Amino acid sequence: MTINTGAPVVVGVDGSAAALDAVRVAAREAGLRSRPLRVVHAFAWPLVAAPLGPAPFTPPTAGLRGQAEEYVAEAVAEAGKIAPEVPVSGVVVDGAPTSVLLDEARAAALVVLGQRGLGGFAGLLVGSVTVQVSARAGCPVLVVRGEARADGPVVVGVDGSDLSAEAVGFAFEEAARRSAPLVAVHAWLYPAPLAPGDLVPLVYDLAELDAEEHRVLAESLAGWAQRYPEVPVRRRLVRGSPAQALVEESRTAQLVVVGAHGRGALGGLLLGSVSHTVLHHAHSPLAVVRHRPAPTR
């Protein structure tokens, strides 16, 4: 295997404790994937008048720009402690955090973000940068929240849509990489249309539907299970809310994986409602998969 080449794992930092948590997870991820780590701080020029550079007779690190450099340096040092074998670079990029990180995502294998940042307010569950980047990035986004544990299964939410198929592929790859079992959760409440224009019966037989949902789950997993025979898979069919089932599973998971959208993809929505809820309430790190990750084997 080539060591530490190819698209980097990118981690966004803003000087917050949550971003440093993200750095520790990102360093481990880069090590697991044999990829370099790239620490990025987006530096937006403030709207209020403030000294941008150091005032005369102060050290060169004074001022906002210097502070930005310090955020990056601190993160690079932290990553070095966690994964000394991983090459780490750090940059300050001018621009708004969301657009800088979306740009970075184009050339990244994975973008890692903290659940919160320096801004926000006390009750905020997930910051706006994280919500927007996880919904729109061109590569999978790992949101570091809850307990970052090295044991427990990888959990994936399956709804039978194309996007959840991509999430399933990513989840198998992650489970194989971590030598972890995979739990595939498919929850359903009522018959749901699989495609626009599908007709849903007014009267239905629950046992028949159960069998149908079993089939949806089995079909979503079939090809991937063949490709990753070493990954033990547990199927969980739940009659209830998918978001609630995934949040429950996240209590013991090392990673939860969802697609950015599912069956109900509404053009205007940043994230599907299940992904949105899990992003706000998961007890473990969460990967949001929007585009098919490049196959690694």
Ligand X SMILES: Nc1ncnc2c1ncn2[C@@H]1O[C@H](COP(=O)(O)OP(=O)(O)OP(=O)(O)O)[C@@H](O)[C@H]1O
Residues that bind ligand X (CB under 6 A): 12-14, 16, 18-19, 22, 40-42, 97, 101, 113-114, 116-120, 124, 127-130
By a kind-dependent CB cut-off of 5 to 8 A, residue 176 interacts, out of Mg ion, ligand X, none, with: none
Burial (0-12, 13-18, 19+ Cβ within 10 Å), 123: exposed
**Nearest-approach distance from CB 287 to ligand X, in angstroms:** 15
Name which of 146 and 191 has its Cβ closer to ligand X: 146
Q: Please choose, from the candidates 196, 190, 187, the residue with its C-alpha nearest in 3D space to the C-alpha of residue 159.
A: 187
CA–CA distance, 198 with 23 (Å, rounded to integer): 44
| Alpha-carbon distances of 46 from 18, 27, 49, 50, rounded to whole Å | 22, 30, 7, 7
Q: How far is CA 227 from CA 38, 79, 216, 230, 262, in A?
A: 30, 32, 18, 9, 23
**Are 271 and 288 within 8 A, CB to CB?**
yes
Site for Mg ion in 113-132 (CB under 5 A): 117, 119
Other beta carbons within 10 Å of 265: 14
From residue 71, how far is each of 22, 49, 118, 162, 176 by CA, in Å? 13, 21, 12, 39, 33
Encode 261-294 in three state secondary structure.
CCCCCCCCCCCCHHHHHHHHHCCCCEEEECCCCC
Q: What number of H helices and E strands is found in the chain? A: 8, 10
- Residue number, 117 or 140, with CB nearest to Mg ion: 117
Nearest distance from C-beta of residue 289 to Mg ion, angstroms? 23
Which residues have a Cβ under 8 Å from the Cβ of 203 and sit 6 or more positions away?
A: none
Using rule CB under 5 A, residue 152 touches Mg ion:
no
Pick the closer one to ligand X by CB: 144 or 258: 144
Query: Shortest Cβ distance from residue 132 to ligand X (Å)?
Result: 8
Least distance in Å: CB of 37 to ligand X? Answer: 13
For residues 27 and 10, the answer to whether their CB atoms sit within 8 Å is no
Judged by beta carbon distances under 5 to 8 A according to partner kind, the member of ligand X, Mg ion, none in contact with residue 42 is ligand X
List the single partner that 87 binds among Mg ion, ligand X, none, CB under 5 to 8 Å by kind: none
Q: Helix 273-281 and helix 128-136: axis angle, to 10°?
A: 140
Kind plus residue range of the DSSP H or E element containing 80: helix 63-82
For Mg ion, the closer CB: 129 or 257: 129
For ligand X, the closer of residues 105 and 129 by Cβ is 129
Q: How far is the CB of 241 from Mg ion (least distance, A)?
A: 30
| Shortest CB 91 distance to ligand X, Å | 10
Distance in Å, CB of 218 to Mg ion, minimum: 42
Residue 114 interacting entry, from ligand X, Mg ion, none, C-beta within 5 to 8 Å by type: ligand X
Nearer to ligand X, 119 or 193 (CB): 119
CB nearest ligand X: which residue?
Answer: 127
Nearest distance from residue 130's CB to Mg ion, in Å?
9
Neighbours of 67 (CB within 10 A): 14
> Toward Mg ion, which CB reaches closer, 51 or 119?
119
Q: For Mg ion, how many residues bind (rule: CB under 5 A)?
A: 2
The residue (of 18 and 171) whose beta carbon lies closer to ligand X is: 18
Partner that binds at residue 18, options Mg ion, ligand X, none, CB closer than 5 to 8 Å by kind: ligand X
- Which residue ranges make up the site for Mg ion (CB under 5 A)? 117, 119
